[in-house]
Amino acid sequence: MVQVVPVIDLRDGGVVHARRGDRGRYPPLRSSLCAGNDPLAVVGGLLRLHPFRVVYAADLDAIQGTGDNRPALAQLKAAFPDVGFWVDAGFRSADAVRGFVASGLGDAVLGSESLDGLAPLAALKADPTWERVILSLDFRDRFVGPPDLPDRPDLWPQRIIAMTLARVGSGEGPDWNRLAEISRTKPQASLFAAGGVRNGDDLRDLAARGSAGALVATALHDGRIGGADLAALSR
């Protein structure tokens, strides 16, 4: 079984359509699942498609240091209390992660692109918060983050996202070589693919190759991954 985690990218309180990591040019989301791009409407549309257990939210304003979308996240958690949220809000310190987890809004995604060094991971590893941490290993043409991090699987939590930003919204398919490399580095980790997932065949291939799941947005909103695909993968 492969877990599909739908993605919402939040900017200025609305959901935008991520494409190839060029955050300044993301347009407001247009989806076959809902009208408009209000976060409550978008998540509601996703949950009508399939009873997803988890939603990934990227707070683009927080990642870019221009503000945050905490009010929208709080509204989502209040409206959908049974859904778990994985949130990347540009966390740069262990204290920021601890504060977010304590807020009750979700689990904290540490994006490697936001980290200046390994200290936050080292501090959190010895902390009860560790089980609520997900590490996103971020790639553009190459790895983005502390140079030593790809070679320090001892500092990786159980859940790992392989985030190929150049493939987000591209429909080019998963980055199979990168996924294989990360899987070899820490085979016991739960590995989630992010960027380029096109259809049910990609999801089935990910499951066959041992991935725990995939982060998906575009293929859900344009209907290339439908309810029947998701139901079949959940069985």
Q: What is the pLDDT of residues 205-233, one digit of tens each?
A: 999 999 999 999 989 999 999 999 999 88
Q: Which of 18-32, 85-99, 113-127, 167-181 has the lowest mean pLDDT?
A: 18-32
Separation CA 225–CA 43 (nearest Å): 16
| Assigned superfamily of 3-234 | Aldolase class I (3.20.20.70)
Predicted confidence at residue 24, as pLDDT, reads 63
Query: Predicted confidence band at 170 (pLDDT cuts at 50, 70, 90)?
Result: low
Q: What is the pLDDT of residues 110-161, one digit of tens each?
A: 999 999 999 999 999 999 999 999 999 999 889 999 999 999 999 999 999 9
Parse the chain into domains and list their residue ranges. 3-234
Chain centre to alpha carbon of residue 57: 6
Answer whether residue 101 shows pLDDT above 60.
yes
Predicted confidence at residue 72, as pLDDT, reads 97
Mean pLDDT of 183-211: 94
Mean pLDDT of 42-56: 97
Answer whether residue 15 shows pLDDT above 70.
yes
- Per the listing, tokens 């949950």 go with 47
Q: What is the dihedral of CA 46, 47, 51, 55, to 10 degrees?
A: 60
Separation CA 93–CA 108 (nearest Å): 11
Q: Is the pTM higher than 0.85? A: yes
Separation CA 54–CA 68 (nearest Å): 21
Separation CA 166–CA 154 (nearest Å): 27
Mean pLDDT computed over every residue of the chain: 93
Predicted confidence at residue 22, as pLDDT, reads 58
Strand partners, 154: none
Separation CA 194–CA 179 (nearest Å): 10
What is the helix (H) or strand (E) element at residue 3, kind and residue range?
strand 3-11
